């Protein structure tokens, strides 16, 4: 099956966080506070998927209050943090959404994603993913993690599903009809 055929079936995009929605760096201040940077282009990609009834979920081994705030801002409701066994997390999402594995895309970048990325319909990675993940990926972004890889994947899914023109029309030509503007 081609990557286009796989993308046409997607109803849910699951994202890893560190190295996918961020550049993978964690900054720690003198008082122990954590900092992570998220790309607004990736945020807009998430919003475009959600506006087209393609759900987005987070599946990450780490836990942080920063991620909780960012996902709330974007409207992501399926957020599984602290998931060392990501296959179990995938199973939870399958049960919660009643979707089949072939209806799910997963974007990951490193070895903790190795098992789960093999169990979904569309495997994706940023350009700076480790070799073992890149070899498994159906879709390889030209962008690095935290720098537009999720956005590129979102656009690819929307275009292959014939939803791109409507997205441009409804979100950007008539934005007053779409109340969510935080990317």
Q: What is the mean pLDDT of the chain?
A: 93
Sign of CA dihedral 25, 74, 12, 143: negative
User: What pLDDT is recorded for position 177?
Assistant: 65
CB atoms within 10 A of CB 166: 12
Residue 16 labeled ligand binder:
yes
Residue 39 labeled ligand binder:
no
Q: What is the pTM of this model?
A: 0.93
Do 89 and 80 meet the contact criterion of CB atoms below 8 Å apart?
A: yes
pLDDT in tens, 142-183: 999 999 999 999 999 999 999 999 999 889 887 776 555 554
Q: Is the pLDDT of residue 92 over 80?
A: yes
Do 132 and 114 meet the contact criterion of CB atoms below 8 Å apart?
A: yes
Do 119 and 99 meet the contact criterion of CB atoms below 8 Å apart?
A: no
103-to-7, 9, 21, 136 alpha-carbon distances in Å: 8, 5, 21, 17
User: What pLDDT is recorded for position 172?
Assistant: 86
Report which DSSP code applies to 36: -
Residue 128 labeled ligand binder:
no
pLDDT in tens, 3-59: 999 999 999 999 999 999 999 998 888 887 788 899 999 999 999 999 999 999 999
Q: What is the mean pLDDT of residues 118-135?
A: 98
What is the bridge-based pairing of β-strands 34-35 and 139-140? unpaired
Taking the C-alpha atoms of residue 134 and residue 141, their distance in angstroms, rounded to an integer, is 10
């Amino acid at each position: 099956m081609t990557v286009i055929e796989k993308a046409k079936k997607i109803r849910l995009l699951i994202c890893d966080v560190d190295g996918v929605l961020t550049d993978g760096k964690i900054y720690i201040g003198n008082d122990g506070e954590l900092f992570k940077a998220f790309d607004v282009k990736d945020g807009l990609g998430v919003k475009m998927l959600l506006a087209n009834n393609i759900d987005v979920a987070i599946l990450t081994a780490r836990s942080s209050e920063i991620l909780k705030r960012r996902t709330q801002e974007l409207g992501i409701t399926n957020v599984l943090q602290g998931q060392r066994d990501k296959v179990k997390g995938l199973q939870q999402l399958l049960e919660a959404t009643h979707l089949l594995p072939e209806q799910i895309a997963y974007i990951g970048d490193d070895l903790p994603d190795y098992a789960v990325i093999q169990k979904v319909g569309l495997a994706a990675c940023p350009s700076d993913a480790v070799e073992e993940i890149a070899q498994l990926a159906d879709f390889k972004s030209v962008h690095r993690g935290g720098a537009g890889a999720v956005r590129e994947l979102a656009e690819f899914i929307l275009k292959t599903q014939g939803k791109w023109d409507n997205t441009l029309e409804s979100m950007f030509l008539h934005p007053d009809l779409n109340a969510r503007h935080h990317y």
